Structure 1
């Protein structure tokens, strides 16, 4: 079943409109993703399961001006918060949509989506801010290499991150175009120095020709919220 959250479409549209007007802030893919996550974590999703349902729900959504105003307000808040406290240390302004990555010099590659999740305190239902999150592949205990220096693995959750973590794995070599491959991934969450939890999942990628540039837009794999007990 293909489930779609139409609020994501509104967020992307409003966020792009606002960022197009800004000239003095970082617009890199990392900051864009952080802004989108900030907004979506504060909005109620609207799920539909068919193209007809999408059209019907979108029409209803357009009739609700207040809902649009609320989301637009959150977009402005997210842009302000994230631009003042970016997670990366590079102060350069990047307005380009494409990121030149550390992609291997291979003719064909598997490109991964950004992996996004949120960790919640199961007792208080508040976001966790004192945990470290690792991304691994298969049975390896070596953290997966990230797309470029703007992405961290492991990542330390800070209060400003609202419990949200994100990873963007570096592309892997493929032997040809059009090959479908499943990658077994898992994240490890560590907190209180001695407590940990693992979540396993699978990502499927279809190989493509390596152009040397990869666009992150629409390449997001969203995990369900993960609940942990800080007292464990």
Structure 2
């Protein structure tokens, strides 16, 4: 069953309308880049009750009902404006925030990497580590991430409970459905622990289009990793 949260479409439309109007009139003087649009959309969705549908009839009914209800739309736009103020006051520091809100999307065929997740522990007491940087290496260098919000090296902290995440930028392919094996190495910075060298492979099939959507069920999970004191 393909279930969809219709609020994702309604919120995305509302956020897009507000930002598009701002780009034309420049009344608020806010950043209208793609990343700020995404952050505002996420802020609103996290504070909006989801409404799920699984048919075209449900989609048409709920979307029309929401758009025709003036109070619902007023509440939604109020939440959008609150989100814009908060996001604009604390913009992501690693993102360029270019005026053009359209992100660069590479053309296919492409090898789209999954998100890669792992956990790193102390080899002496088996507790999750903190204050350690984890690198994802490919062909001897840190591989580029899909956008500036994904870091390589990944700074493991107390808040992440030993978890690290990577999402590599797609690699070009010669043709759709081509298969290729990519070799990776997970390493850590020099410090109070011995260096880690963990190797793994991913076999991917080239796809026609760029995939920039996260699917948790497709995340590639590494086995637990352990560091020992020097």
- The TM-score range, normalised by the shorter chain, is 0.5 to 0.7
Root-mean-square deviation over aligned CA pairs:
4.4
Match for residue 92 of structure 2? Answer: 87
Aligned ranges for residues 115-194 of structure 1 at < 5 Å? 145-153=144-152, 154=154, 169-177=168-176
State the alpha-carbon separation in 1 of the partners of residues 10 and 108 from structure 2: 36
Aligned ranges for residues 40-59 of structure 1 at < 5 Å? 40-59=45-64
Q: What is the SS of the residue equivalent to 2:32?
A: coil
The alignment status of 1:66 with 2:59, answered yes or no, reads no
Q: Measure how far apart 1:11 and its partner are.
A: 0.9
Is the radius of gyration larger for structure 1 or structure 2?
Answer: 2
Q: Measure how far apart 1:18 and its partner are.
A: 1.0
Q: Measure how far apart 1:155 and its partner are.
A: 6.8
Match for residue 220 of structure 1? Answer: 213
Cα deviation 1:37-73 (Å, max 9, x = unaligned) = 1110000000000111111222322342222111111
TM-score, with length taken from structure 1: 0.54
Asked whether the equivalents of residues 30 and 151 of structure 1 are also in contact (C-alpha less than 8 Å), the reply is no
TM-score, with length taken from structure 2: 0.54
Match for residue 10 of structure 1? Answer: 10
Which runs of 5 or more structure 1 residues have no equivalent in the other structure?
Answer: 116-130, 137-141, 158-165, 182-203, 225-232
Q: Measure how far apart 1:86 and its partner are.
A: 0.7
Q: Measure how far apart 1:34 and its partner are.
A: 1.2
State the alpha-carbon separation in 2 of the partners of residues 91 and 108 from structure 1: 27
Structure with greater strand percent = 1
State the alpha-carbon separation in 2 of the partners of residues 32 and 44 from structure 1: 20
Count of aligned pairs between the two proteins: 166
State the alpha-carbon separation in 1 of the partners of residues 72 and 82 from structure 2: 15
The 3 A distance-change label for structure 1 pair 47 and 85 is same
State the alpha-carbon separation in 1 of the partners of residues 155 and 35 from structure 2: 13
State the alpha-carbon separation in 2 of the partners of residues 41 and 207 from structure 1: 31
Asked whether the equivalents of residues 14 and 72 of structure 1 are also in contact (C-alpha less than 8 Å), the reply is yes
State the alpha-carbon separation in 2 of the partners of residues 205 and 29 from structure 1: 28
State the alpha-carbon separation in 2 of the partners of residues 83 and 174 from structure 1: 38
State the alpha-carbon separation in 2 of the partners of residues 168 and 21 from structure 1: 33
